[in-house]
Amino acid sequence: MATIKDVAKRAGVAISTVSAVINRSAPASQAVIARVERAIAEIGYMPHRAAQTLRSGQSRVIGLIVPDITNPHFSTVARVTERVCMAAGYMTFVYNTGEDTDHEMQIIKMMRMQSVAGLILISTRSDAAHGARLMAEINVPAVLMGSHVQGVPFDVITLDEVRAGQLAIRHLLDLGHRRIGVISGRTGVSTHEERLEGVRVAFAERGLRLDEDLVVPANFAEGEAFDAARQLLNRRAPPTAIMTLSILMTVGLMRSLVAMQLTSPRDVSIIGIDDFDWAAIMNPQPCAIAQPIVEMTEVAIATLLDQIETGKPPSGRRLLFEPKLVVRASCAPVLV
């Protein structure tokens, strides 16, 4: 492999000049710049990243930590992250927590070993104890997506979660549903808490109340949602509509319907937070609350890269994005 020394020799300049040209860290004449760049091209020189990292204490790599890359919602986040980071000259490590907090911490440790320049984190918990642990382990700029965490100063890029829950329930109430089941996530995660709060708000604004007995937690997991749905639908007075708080749980619910040979919306209306790219080929075509996930990801990364490059401290703000109701066949008026 060619080194910076080889470039210097070939271009007939000093090593420090080559470095200055590459990093634009010191002025150089046009003639010198041209000579250096030609030499770089001729011998196919590429800076040795590990050497740069060792010397500068910072790699041009950012870490993206998501719950599960096989969830299409997060694979989109990963794809956008790759594109935006590459354009800015950064590489990306993508890792999955599997909704497991210990694993999340382990990944953060690995990221730290790699001297990542920054982190995009979709965290598994929102409580202060977790926040304290994060602060002890994260020593680089970071941006939270999705859930927020108490006691950390990072910016948060998130859906208006309350409104998302509210939009979904409003739609069901508008269609006349009153016995509404909710397949929820996990206590202690802000996305769970706030989406559920939106559900309650939507009931309250009509002078109604959510039947808490019809709220079944499923840990944001497909398998648990499958069971939760079955349990809800096997009750003596089953709900006429079911809402889920996330995409994989919608899949679990839909699978349950198939297994129980029920049809939506005939037997039950369903709606979930998070939309599907493949909604058109699903049965039923699911009514959903969509997030502007591409835009959110772009903003998250722009925010992170800005903090990395300027050294600015995080603003600590929560940036809320608007959820949007996407009406599809899976919700029908309740039978009177």
Partner DNA sequence: GTGAAAGCGCTAACAG
Partner DNA sequence: CTGTTAGCGCTTTCAC
Site pattern 269..308 for its own copies (x: CB under 8 A):
--------xx-xxxx-------------------------
Q: Which residue lies nearer to DNA by CB, 12 or 223?
A: 12
Q: Which residue lies nearer to DNA by CB, 45 or 321?
A: 45
Q: Which residue lies nearer to DNA by CB, 55 or 209?
A: 55
Across 168-193, b (16+ Cβ under 10 Å) vs e yields bbbbbbebebeebbbbbbbeebbbbb
Tokens of 170: 């409003």
Residue 204 makes contact with DNA by CB under 7 A: no
Site pattern 212..251 for its own copies (x: CB under 8 A):
---------------------------------------x
Residue 51 makes contact with its own copies by CB under 8 A: yes
Tokens of 94: 């993508």
| Cβ atoms 131, 316 nearer than 8 A | no
Phi, psi of 177 (to 5 degrees): -75, 140
Q: Would you call 162 helix, strand, or coil by DSSP?
A: helix
- What does the alpha-carbon distance between residue 155 and residue 112 come to, in Å, rounded to a whole number? 20
| Cβ atoms 29, 83 nearer than 8 A | no
- What does the alpha-carbon distance between residue 119 and residue 107 come to, in Å, rounded to a whole number? 11
Residue 15 makes contact with its own copies by CB under 8 A: no
Residue 48 makes contact with DNA by CB under 7 A: yes
Residue 17 makes contact with DNA by CB under 7 A: yes
Tell the burial category of 1 from Cβ atoms under 10 Å away from its Cβ (0-12, 13-18, 19+). Answer: exposed
Q: Which residue lies nearer to its own copies by CB, 110 or 129?
A: 110
Least separation in angstroms between residue 284's CB and its own copies is 8
Site pattern 54..73 for its own copies (x: CB under 8 A):
x----x-x------xxx-x-
Which residue in 16, 23, 25, 114 binds its own copies (CB under 8 A)? 114
Tell the burial category of 135 from Cβ atoms under 10 Å away from its Cβ (0-12, 13-18, 19+). Answer: middle
Contacting residues for 25 by C-beta, under 8 A, at least 6 apart: 19
Binding site for DNA (CB under 7 A): 1, 3-5, 12-17, 19-20, 22-23, 25-29, 31-33, 45, 47-48, 51-52, 54-57
Binding site for its own copies (CB under 8 A): 46-51, 53-54, 59, 61, 68-70, 72, 75-76, 78-79, 82, 86, 91-96, 109-110, 112-115, 251, 254-255, 258-259, 277-278, 280-283
